[in-house]
Each structure stands twice: as structure tokens, then as C-alpha cells.
A = this chain, B = another copy of it.
Amino acid sequence: MIKTDPQEVEQRLKQFELACRQKGVKLTHQRIEIFREVAEATDHPDTEQIYQRLKNRLPTLSLDTVYRTLWLLKDLDLLVTLGTSRERTRFDANLKGHHHQVCTKCGAISDFYSDDLDKVKLPEPLGMLVEIEATHVEVRGICRNCLKST
């Protein structure tokens, strides 16, 4: 399992602690560990997976705390969610503008960056939207592993 670069994780944790203090949200042991787990992950885990990965370290942790914490962190803009249709919601602590590549076979999701994409102008009369917050591209396809195993 590939993990986020440790320096990057530390940075994210710093930002997280700062944000919590600023907003008067208590820095509990559980919150720190849950955030760290998401920050270290590169595979965009869902609630259950995060819970499973933490159980060794925090044996008394309960699943509902993981749920509550993840959505709290999302509300604080410290995490981003990916809706993946039939699957459960998945979480990402990467706050730099980025895009996703998704394997339609195995469901793996990985981040990527593209200056070219970021530079594209949207058609002016977009329609419904007035204030644009973010543009996110999802590229779907088959990943190396899944192609091999067919």
C-alpha cells in the first residue's frame, strides 16, 4: 500500500490542528488519528476501511465516531468526499486542486494533476451555475492490474 509522503502528512496535520483550534473544535485523540489515517492514505478509503485500519491502534474506537468525525472534517473543509455511485462515500485529505482516475473494474481511484486541464475555459453560458467553486475531472478506464488479469 503506497502512503502519502510523510512530510506532506505532517503539513496536513499541522493545518488540521490549526483549523480545529481556530474553529473551537476539540482536538481529541480519536480525531487526530482518524485525520492522520486519511491523510496517509492514497487510496481514498471509505468510513468502514478507515475504521478497520484504526482498530489496532485504537481498540475502543467506535464506528459511529469515525462517521461523525469524517463528516465534521468535511464540513470544516479539511477533507473532500468522492461520491462513487454504488459504493460508499470515500474520503481524500488532498486539498490541492486535483483530478481523479477511476478504474471501472476494480474501483481503484488515484489522484492526478494537469495544468492543461486547469487552464481550459468553460463555455461561458454554463447554464445553471453562477459562482463556480471548483472544476473536477474524472477519467474512467481500466487500470494496469485489471487489464492483466483478464
> Which residues from chain A sit less than 8 Å from chain B, CB to CB?
71, 81-87, 89, 101, 103-104, 108, 110, 112-114, 116-117, 120-123, 126-144, 147
- The number of times this chain is found in the oligomer is 2
Q: A81-B86, A113-B123 are in contact. List 4 more A-B contacts (CB 8 A).
A: A71-B86, A82-B83, A134-B139, A137-B138
Query: Could you say which residues of chain B place their CB within 8 Å of the CB of A143?
Result: 128-130
Query: Could you say which residues of chain B place their CB within 8 Å of the CB of A86?
Result: 71, 81, 83, 89
The docked-state distance in angstroms from the alpha carbon of A131 to that of B103 is 9
Query: Could you say which residues of chain B place their CB within 8 Å of the CB of A132?
Result: 139-141
Given A87-B83, A147-B130: A137 in contact with B140 (beta carbons within 8 A):
no
Query: Could you say which residues of chain B place their CB within 8 Å of the CB of A85?
Result: 81-83, 89
